[in-house]
Amino acid sequence: MDSANNKSGQDDSLGGLVLLNIPSSYYYAIGDTQSYFFENSDTYHTKLNSIGDGLSQIHIVNYVNDDMMQEAYFDVNEPAGAQMSLDVGTGQNLSNLQLNIDVDANGTIDQTQQPTG
């Protein structure tokens, strides 16, 4: 979601419908991998749901003029149904990101995680 509350990506509340309401945003899914691309400067609020037990990876890359400037990884090992959120701003130092994790999906953040790489 961007600062104007526009959404892009797969919306499970709409039966998995893919929304592309954020201007200049792109969404791709291949198997279990989902990719989001945003071209405009903004702060983006992401919501992620764990769909299976086991290790998953969240990879965030900041590009400027097609050159990779920064990247951050989160290695996440949460149960199916866990809900996560992450705010990413244009130009933000990606090492300062914080992943919020609601393990039991009750609306309360149970833990936070810094990038693992």
HEC profile for 3-66?
Answer: CCCCCEEEEHHHCCEEEECCCCEEEEEECCEEEEEECCCCEEEEEEECCCCCEEEEEEEEEECC
What would the pLDDT profile of 7-62 be if each residue is shown by its tens digit? 888 777 777 777 788 888 888 888 878 888 888 888 888 888 887 777 888 888 88
| The two structure tokens encoding residue 37 | 């691309």
Q: Which residues contact 34 (CB under 8 A, 6 or more apart)?
A: 9, 10, 27, 28
N-term to C-term CA, the chain: 24
